[in-house]
Structure 1
Amino acid sequence: MTVSAINVSITYQGDGVTTLFAFPFPVINPTDIIIFISTGTDVILGNPATYQVFLNPPVAPNPTPVGGSVLYPVVGGGVPVPVGQTITIYRQQTTVQETSFANQSVLYQTVIEQTFDFVTMLTQQLQEVTDRCIQGSPIDPAMAQLPPAAVRANMFLAFDSMGNPMPAAGVVLGNVVISPAMVPVVTAATVQVAATALGIGTPAFGLQFGVSAPGNLDQNIQLVHVATDTILDTFDHMSRIICDVTLNITLPKVSTLWNGWGVWINSRSHVVNVIPDAGDSIDPLAMGEALVMEAAGGDTTIFIQTDGGGVWFF
């Protein structure tokens, strides 16, 4: 015969009544049939003592039976598959070859044909398993191997910049995987606690949560009094620097900031040198040249801001 059926399994929805389930694919031995019961949350391999397999008789001259049925459950083997659950009938052959051809012996057509049937069905079985595996595209290069089990233990499957599988740290919350860094945010008891964990609850970032009223996200201007030379950093964004004496204020390197980063500087009638990084400039001054806030100008306030392109504007 030719093995024309490509499937190796069939699934039925339970109705709480039906106990006899047909399958259309060829099977050589009843023991090649196994069943799975799916409850929706678990998959259970059926105990052979709870079901019985019936094969259709082979149709001459074909030696291999095609199709049959499974009785589940047998008497005393449980209850019919209930509504909401499924039964899957699966052909699983043992991967052994038990046919032997003796030298100069008679070769029976049925034996040869059934041997080919067995090999074909075994190939289908392997193909079915392969079809359920994660596979790369045919145009992809060979994937890199995963590291040893000890390295990937308690990790999650991820992919690197080349598309190769790699282990990655993560935390499961419910049915969602998140990065360890986000655990304090996701598990926060309130939105305000989550905002604080993200940093937007800290006034130094120019934003504060729930200060003017519960649930409000407010723009904040932090007042910072300085009495010594001061080097500003990213967290000084939107702050108001109050200079209580003559001093130097060194600006951050623009390449570490973003378009729109800015800060207020109040001289309070002192001489204040606002110094950019050597590779930046304060428009319209030369690169690296300091902006001098003169004492003669009185109590002066400037707002100095960068476009992120190496230039400061005030």
Structure 2
Amino acid sequence: MTTTPARGPAAARAAAETDRQVRRLYRLAYRVHSIGNTLADPDATAGTVARATARIPRALSAAKRLLALPGVADHDETPYALGFVHAAERRLTDPATRLLTVANAARAAAARAAADGDDLRVVVFRDIEERSRHLVGAARGEPVSGRRGWTRQDRTASDTLQRQAAQWGLTAGTDGRPPGPAGPGHPPVPARLAREAADRAATRARCAPGIRCERPACPAYGALWVEHGGRRWFVCARCLPAENADLRARGFRPDAKPVPGGVPEGARFSVRLYNAAGRGARAVECGTAQEAQFIAETERPFNNTGYEISVRYASRPSARP
């Protein structure tokens, strides 16, 4: 009889402690669920994937420690919390997560290939990245279309993509380069990608003289850097009289002329790529006129991409002094 009064408060304290640990499990479950959801984002970067794949296992270990505490595993609310934990755990082995890894490896490899001037690898790696991210989005599902999860064709496409990524050296532990030179030794390439790579190489050769004339109907490259009234732009020598005629027709003095000394030594170029049919723009810095024109003609971040090329001195912008 003397111990009965003590057993009541002890049981209450034990129950309160169990509830506290279950609340900890809930907080952990919500956090790991949020982290797992980042692996369903088609645009997840390599850093995002790396953080998620590192944090989820740590959260799972913490959940196991909480479940080992007295009363937590048997609590009525625990199964609901564990549903979030298990969902995040499944994300780690989900094919979509592997495709995100492939997509980010392909993006990095395409950047290296672009720096090397290897048009074939740029085209192949960008194609792998685009198709991988598309499948990740399909796995998540789009509420508008009512589609949820992968079809049988999507699963086949995922397997094919992962095999192709392995062939081109995009799997873990590689440097993102093909097993052989971008010639007879590279893996088989679909005809459409070979044509796209050839078109890209032709564009590179076309841009070799430099910036294209900004007159819409003029196909000439290697245009002059001209100025008028504080504004500077690119016009070829053949179109300069027509440019001045247009200035006269609009009521301005027709005295556009080449910038004295031309483009300064060591100047860089800024290519502004903008959405001609909506919002959005980004700028790319280039070291040469040839590179700037090539970027302007090959990069398409928007469906209706327009571009502007300006000259930047080594220390300050100079396109519009």
Q: Which has the larger radius of gyration?
A: 1
TM bracket, shorter-chain basis: under 0.3
More helix by share: 2
Structure with the higher fraction of residues in strand conformation = 1
* TM-score normalised by structure 1 residue count: 0.22
Normalised TM-score (structure 2)? 0.22
